[in-house]
């Protein structure tokens, strides 16, 4: 199965307000043909509004949308050669799965008269196009493994099956760009994991452009070629998933991406190349000027937990989360500082009892430095 050529997408200076409330602030974004890009951010950050502007369902206040090198600002949604998969699936309850999938093709390829049951059968061109339409639906059904469901109606389907039908209805049109607005949010956790893999595999088979919106960072990190982090109507960072996690552009990105959340500790540059973190001296190759106050970010997987006699931050275990494959230990290091979370091997459960004294350590090249305004400081790079 193939899609139309050139699904590149370019947004330039997109702004949008609802009444007096600004939602998007001059958004610029370029997406390559065939790329899988996920727009991720908290609820209300403007990501779904941006997707609807791409689709033509909302009109931006200023800026341009281009698809395949062509500006589409004045084109209706049906003329933009895109297909959108909604959070609610948007299936017609009175139609079978086959008819739900076939409807977009019938509306595009058949005239009003050709769609009439009796008249259409008497028109040779309509009969030929209907046969092609049926073949197209069956091809997509085979791809998605939903052939046994074609005679059912949406009320007879599970959540995962409805999601496949919604994807199939988008696929039959062979669009240049697939737009997906939180399509997995209504599924349970196990099915979401399964459908993440299916959507990623589908993208590889189709080689089409996918723009996927979600507030779930796991979806963004596991499926995408690039991740777009949005907050407050601004794009904060566009990068490969691994770089967004390991090299965040600012503190907001660092705190949003990663689970458990990044640990933040107060630090001050006490000498050239030395940062004091609650009494622990951390030597850095290049530190900011002496006296600079910092927020020191440390991801839970890089925090080492040792005996209280060891070097490093001293604290007491306040909570443990044993997830089977991982053990997350919460350690209080100071009254005014949130507990530090460290990831440990579950075999160490008995060695980190609640109330037990421990020491925490981390390598200088694993910390992320931010100033008090959240701006990234790369003194340890």
Mean pLDDT of 147-165: 91
pLDDT tens for each residue of 307-338: 988 788 999 999 999 998 899 999 999 998 99
**Residue-wise pLDDT tens digits, 87-107:** 888 889 999 999 999 888 777
Q: CA 87, 92, 93: angle at the middle one, nearest 5?
A: 105
Position 337 scores a pLDDT of 92
User: Residue 250 carries which DSSP code?
Assistant: B
- Structure tokens that stand for 14 in this block: 């997109």
DSSP-derived 3-state class of residue 216 = coil
Burial of 24: CB neighbours in 10 Å, binned 0-12, 13-18, 19+: buried
pLDDT at 4 (0 to 100): 47
Q: Cα separation of 314 and 37, whole Å? A: 42
Encode pLDDT of 194-235 as tens digits.
888 888 988 998 889 999 999 998 899 999 999 999 999 999
Closest Cα partner for 285 from 375, 365, 361, 377? 365
Residue at token pair 């395949």: 68
In this prediction, residue 380 carries a pLDDT of: 54
β-sheet with 21-31: strand ranges across: 21-31, 9-18, 62-67, 70-71
Give the pLDDT confidence score for residue 125 in this predicted structure: 67
Burial class (CB in 10 A: 0-12, 13-18, 19+), 116: middle
2 band by pLDDT with thresholds 50, 70 and 90: very low
Answer for the pair 87, 52: CB distance below 8 angstroms, yes or no.
no
Work out the widest C-alpha separation in the chain, in whole angstroms.
Answer: 89
- pLDDT higher than 60, residue 165: yes
The shares of helix, strand and coil residues in the chain, as percent rounded to the nearest 5, are 30, 30, 35
Mean pLDDT of 262-272: 93
Domains of the chain: 9-252 (3.40.50.300), 261-377 (2.40.50.140)
Mean pLDDT value across residues 348-358: 91
Answer whether residue 241 shows pLDDT above 50.
yes
SS3 track for 290-307:
CCCEEEEEECHHHCEEEE
Question: Inter-axis angle of helices 124-144 and 159-171, to 10 degrees?
Answer: 130
Average pLDDT across the chain, whole number: 89
Look at the alpha carbons of 212, 218, 223, 225 in this order and tell me if their dihedral is positive or negative: positive
- What percent of the chain clears pLDDT 90, i.e. is strictly above it? 60
């Amino acid at each position: 199965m193939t899609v139309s050529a050139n699904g590149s997408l370019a947004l330039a200076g997109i702004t949008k307000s609802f009444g007096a409330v600004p939602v998007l602030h001059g958004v610029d974004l370029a997406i390559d043909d065939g790329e899988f890009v996920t727009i991720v951010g908290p609820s209300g950050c403007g990501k779904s509004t941006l997707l609807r502007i791409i689709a033509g369902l909302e009109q931006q206040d200023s800026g341009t949308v281009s698809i395949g090198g062509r500006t589409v600002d004045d084109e209706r949604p049906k003329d933009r050669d895109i297909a959108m998969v909604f959070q609610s699936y948007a299936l017609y309850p009175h139609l079978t799965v086959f008819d739900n999938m076939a409807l977009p093709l019938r509306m595009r390829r058949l005239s009003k008269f050709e769609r009439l049951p009796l008249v259409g059968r008497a028109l040779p061109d309509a009969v030929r196009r209907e046969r092609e339409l049926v073949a197209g639906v069956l091809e997509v059904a085979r791809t998605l493994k939903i052939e046994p469901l074609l005679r059912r109606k949406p009320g007879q389907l599970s959540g995962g099956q409805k999601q496949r039908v919604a994807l199939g209805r988008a696929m039959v049109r062979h669009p240049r760009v697939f737009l997906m607005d939180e399509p997995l949010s209504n599924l349970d956790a196990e099915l979401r994991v399964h459908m993440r893999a299916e959507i990623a595999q589908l993208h590889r088979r189709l080689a089409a452009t996918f723009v996927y919106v979600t507030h779930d960072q796991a979806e963004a990190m596991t499926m995408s070629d690039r991740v777009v982090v949005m907050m407050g109507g601004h794009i904060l960072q566009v990068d490969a998933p691994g770089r967004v996690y390991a090299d965040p552009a600012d503190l907001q990105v660092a705190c949003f991406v990663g689970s458990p959340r990044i640990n933040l500790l107060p630090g001050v540059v006490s000498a050239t190349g030395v940062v004091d973190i609650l009494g622990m001296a951390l030597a850095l190759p290049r530190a900011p000027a002496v006296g600079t106050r910092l927020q020191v970010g440390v991801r839970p997987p890089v925090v080492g937990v040792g005996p209280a006699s060891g070097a490093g931050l001293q604290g007491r275990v306040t909570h443990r989360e044993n997830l089977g494959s991982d053990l997350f230990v919460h350690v209080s290091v100071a009254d005014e500082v949130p507990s530090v979370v460290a990831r440990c091997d579950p075999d160490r459960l008995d060695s980190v009892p609640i109330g037990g004294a421990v020491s925490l350590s981390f390598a200088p090249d694993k910390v992320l430095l931010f100033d008090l305004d959240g701006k990234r400081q790369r003194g340890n790079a």
